[in-house]
Structure 1
Amino acid sequence: MTSAADSPIQNSWLNDLRKKKVMTIIFLVNGYQIRGTIESFDNFSVVVITKGTKQLLYKHAISTMVEVEDRSRTTVQ
């Protein structure tokens, strides 16, 4: 069984996305993409709010997660 101490990077990153309500693209292992905000998570699953609907995703089905870039904060240098 995996404990919270076994994945501190994953938990801290997911918690940051949750607290800041960052729009996130979640790529599933079957290639499907889900865009939404993280409501909650535990060792085995993530709850995502998409267009007002909650979806429970099992972590073993998630391939990659990407924050949607906020272009209003981006500066060109």
Structure 2
Amino acid sequence: MSKLRTYISVYRKEKNMQQDELAELVGVRRETISRLEKGLYNPSLKLAYDIAKVFGVTIEKLFEFYEEDNLESK
């Protein structure tokens, strides 16, 4: 199963930015940023683009999918 890994917190911390500051810049709630950072929420393309724009990086630098081993099927 594919899982989403995000590097939002890395870029956010490099800029000494709080979750609520980023949320305000991209027009979402702080909880959305928190869920994104934990990999619990898949962003829309527009939100991914907006966040990447804040940090001046590509979407691919912020997000990646990886395969999670499914232990139940083994």
| TM-score normalized by the length of structure 2 | 0.30
Task: Report which of the two has the higher share of strand.
Answer: 1
Task: Report which of the two has the higher share of helix.
Answer: 2
